[in-house]
Chain A
């Protein structure tokens, strides 16, 4: 067993138990043993002096693409898990749209094994909803659950067949796992590569209307209502979508939903100049949508702050806009962006951001952690709110560099990432 770990004198912000106070946290045998003041260190304990720092439950990113197997030139499970740890995340959920698709228990087992070997953030696999993510036949959902999948999704390939989606929501209930959906109607998206509107019109790029997302958000809410299943809506980007989720929650529909840093901070204007690092799916939307996503995150309609970390090799982004792939990396910038622009500018307070990054995601996917209640997993993130730093994509631990936030000045960064009581990442504080 690893050495006990005593984190001394930090400001503990644990929204799961409404704590925001100076406390010591003791982790023994990989679990939180005690939280209080003046805790005596057990023999052989490692001590971290957290005075002046913020101590939170380990942060969780429920939406990352680790690309392995099949896309190891973009990211591997090891590099992704290390990038996650460097970004303050103690756990991530890996999307199954790899090559081959994770749609069977062997694939789930592979991701778990690679994650464990990485020795960084915990890696929880999601399995596919359908075989090969082809939207035709249910994948081996029960077997994948037994192998350790924490949810199912066809992220990347929207489930166009509403009947299949209904069956997935019904079937997954036996295992208590959510169905995560990338809500998008491909017919409405057509050849779109950015948000539909005057920017797209001027640039001569085909647009995706908000309706292509809204139609599937509303459909998924109806199907969750019909089945009693748990739907998790990924990367919500539209005003109508946020409002539809808000109303569904008041009716008691079992829905959780995500907001990404880029949809909270950027708009379609960022595509000016055909910048492929501003190309993602769903696309950056209009400012009214960004405002609605912000309100949704603030009032809890959107439960989870997730990065949709989507690494691409620089060659792949070094193309004309329409030809470049969707997505940006986010693991190493999400916390800093949230602290600087969401907390720093007063949209939400620190406890709310931590809630959306810890207990919110843990509850959405039924994960251990997200709390420092004694007996829970000894996953802890220690944050220096005062550290000013500049995003430098060339310094990322991720294999990829595709970020629209390169060069942004941020304030606040993780300085220790602790998984099961072991320090898996520690900032150079010299």
Chain B
């Protein structure tokens, strides 16, 4: 099922072109929308919600056109903005109930859904206290809860891991994965951190400067490559020199060495080189693409 599609979508502001003839589509599951700050991610979400009119081109969300059916779209879509959006003098429960009612749920259903949703995002007793006293992690959970409370078919999460500590980040990513699989709600999640999306997405769309760089499934991004990754405890440079002398193409990535494997005997050569230099081998594995590499490669081509 196609949850969103754009066709030559362009948005020009007086001084800047935020989206430039963007044509993408995304199916159900978790879709990552990757791009640097200012790449046009938030603008795209606003156009899809019908909050901004596009300059040119068209878009559909769940088969509906935001220009004419924005209310129907917003009834079926949840939105978690990037910025703070919570009133400090209300409790999370009260706020979530109110937001559910604003989506058209009757009051009793809104209360029940709010309690359910807050529990799912991991807010318990503290949900009765005013939001003003919450930590960043708790605020992000409330923001997520208000996007889910009306049981949408799709949620747009704009930078949900912003400002979270590593533990909070892991929890949030696990939650996003659960929303996409267990809850059966399609997710469009933006981030500028590629490593994060690698862990939760089925499909990744990379945009840069308002243009599409690449759109493909996560498997294609992270497929096996012909290189070998080697990590030794110390003496990385000496090993690199020896392998280069043996006619192999070697690149250094911090503590890691990437060796182009022209033939199967490259593994043997690496092993012998490590033995000759008397180094402690930590890791020797088939290299995998990371989204970062793709992003870097494609950005340099454009």
**A, B: real partners:** no
Where the two chains meet, the residues of B that have a C-beta atom closer than 8 Å to any C-beta of A are none
